[in-house]
Amino acid sequence: MTNQLQQKCQDANFANIQQTNDDEIDLRELFSVIWQGKWLIIAVTAVFAIGAVVYAIMQPNIYKAEALLAPAETEQSGGGLSALAGQFGGLASMAGINLGGGSSDKSQLAIEVMKSRQFIGDFIKKHQILPELMASEKWDMASNNVVYDPKLYDATTKTWIRVVNAPFQPEPSLQEAYKAFIKIMAVNSAKDTGMVTVSVESVSPYVAKQWVDWLVQDINEVMKKRDVMEAERGQAFLEQQLRETKIADMRSVLYQLMEQAQKTIMFANVREEYVFNTIDPALVPEEKAKPKRALICILGTMLGGMLGVMIVLVRHFVRKG
């Protein structure tokens, strides 16, 4: 019995030693194959490294301008109007009057409006930035002008010459422009402070800064017009209700709501920064935001090295099999 146990232990030890030797042989074979194919690996790595350098150099500099905004404080309804909010909130809502809304809701609405297709489409048409958005190739620092891609846009005649398949047209549609603009614009709100950051990327630092300024101006103007139009419609509605109502208490409520609507109109007309106050305005960026050329070169070289090793190993095992 003892001899059998000793024999089994010897067999197990031999198997472990054999397995270890096999592993060492496999690793030695693996390193040997890689060493034999080192020139192929070096060649593939060099090709990818050169390609990464060329690609990085060809990429235009992208500049990012951003502005820090704070939600503007809205006129709070106090006293009698706050007490009326629960009882007559429905009537005030029909009249386009907000009895208890704060600045947070209005700023969140403004952020969503800024990201909407309607706002961005109107923004592009109003400022006529379609060529800079869709055809810019690089920025000429000496002349401070955007250089357009000659395959897309003729700057001399101001005509679009890009070749596209139907249903697209040489001149980009607003849907195409929206997709391009939403990629370079970012609007972020900090949950802890409520501060809003608006940023735009462009090949020209001056264009990026100008677009951020326009975005802030336009969203304040758009939200102001929305509230004024709602308040004016509300006034007309309340005047009609006032003519049809003979109950004294109800007429008193309607007068207070009309007063609130008039305050909304006056407040909007005298305030330039209606929704957002500019805390830190956009500046012309002096340094590019991207591309990260060094990172592109490093990643390209690493990818080439891994691909070269893979090619050598696959070729060896295919031949061996």
Residue 169: phi and psi, rounded to 5, are -115, 160
At 34, is the pLDDT very low, low, confident or very high (cuts 50, 70, 90)?
confident
- Residue 70: alpha-carbon gap to chain centroid: 19
Q: 125 or 20: which carries more pLDDT confidence?
A: 125
pLDDT tens for 98-117 read 544 455 678 889 999 999 99
- Cis? peptide before 291, omega within 30° of 0: yes
CATH number for the domain whose boundaries are 63-280: 3.30.1890
* pTM across the whole model: 0.74
Indicate the DSSP class of residue 64.
Answer: E
Q: What is the pLDDT of residues 162-208, one digit of tens each?
A: 988 988 899 999 999 999 999 999 999 888 888 999 999 999 999 99
Residue that has been written with the tokens 């969203």 in this structure: 219
Report the chain's mean pLDDT, rounded to a whole number. 81
**What is the distance between the alpha carbons of residues 317 and 321, in angstroms, rounded to a whole number?**
6
Delimit the domains of the chain by residue range: 2-59+293-320, 63-280
Question: 139: closest CA among 147, 151, 130?
Answer: 147
Burial of 274 (0-12, 13-18, 19+ CB in 10 A): buried
Spatial separation of the C-alpha atoms in residues 73 and 273, rounded to whole Å: 10
Residues in the chain: 321
DSSP at 300 = H
pLDDT digits (tens, 9 = 90+) for 227-270: 888 777 777 777 777 676 777 666 677 667 777 776 777 767 76
